[in-house]
Structure 1
Amino acid sequence: MKSKLEKLLNFPCSFTYKVIGFSNPELIDNVIKIVQIHIPGDYVPQIKSSNKGKFISISVTVFATTFSQIENLYIELSKINTVRIVL
C-alpha cells in the first residue's frame, strides 16, 4: 500500500529535508555527504542556528526520481549521531 506522502508526490520532483541537530561543523558536512551518496548534485544548504547556538537546522532540497530515494535518504540522515530530527 502506498503511503500518503508517496501518493501526493509526482516523480521526478523537488523535495526539501530539514535536519536539526547539535551545532557542530561536522554535521553540515555529514548531511551533504549522505545526500551526495543517494542523490548526487550541487547542494547549497540553508543553515540556521538556534537562539542559544546549541542547535542548527540544515535545509537541503534534492531532485528525487523515485520514492525510495526519499525514503532511504530520510533513514540515512536519521542515523547521524548528532541529528535530533529529520523533517
Structure 2
Amino acid sequence: MMDTHFDQLLDFPCMQTFKVMGLADPTLPEQIVACLQEHAPGDYAPSVKPSSKGKYHAVSIGVRVTSKEHMETIYTELAQIEIVRVVL
C-alpha cells in the first residue's frame, strides 16, 4: 500500500485530475478509461496531448474519488497498464 497523505490534503469525495503519461499508442486513452471504469465507473472525456517529439502522450482525466484508499488504488492500477510510464 502507498504511504500517502491524501486524506490530510483532500476532503473526500472529490474530483481529482489524473495525468497519465505513456507511449504514443492510439489505444492509451481507451486503456485508461477501461481501467477507470473498473474502479470508478462514470462518463470520461480524456484530454490527450502529444509530447514535442511525438513519442509519448499525456492523458488528463478527471475522476471522482471517494477515499484515500480509492485514490491509491487508481494510481496503482493505472501504473500497471503496460504502455503507461508515469501517473501523476
Q: TM-score range by the shorter chain?
A: over 0.9
Matched, 1:55 2:56: yes
What is the RMSD computed on CA atoms of the aligned residues? 1.2
> What is the CA distance between 1:6 and its match in structure 2?
2.0
Unpaired segments ≥5 residues, structure 2: none
> What is the CA distance between 1:5 and its match in structure 2?
2.4
Equivalent residues in 2 for 1:61-76, closer than 5 Å? 61-76=62-77
Q: Deviations over 1:33-78 (max 9, x none)?
A: 0011100110001110011110000001111112211110100000
Matching residue of 2:45: 44
Matching residue of 2:87: 86
> What is the CA distance between 1:12 and its match in structure 2?
0.9
User: Aligned pair count?
Assistant: 86
- Partner Cα separation in structure 2 for residue 11 and residue 85 of structure 1: 24
Greater than 6 Å deviation, 4+ residue runs: none
- Partner Cα separation in structure 1 for residue 51 and residue 20 of structure 2: 13
TM-score (norm 2): 0.91
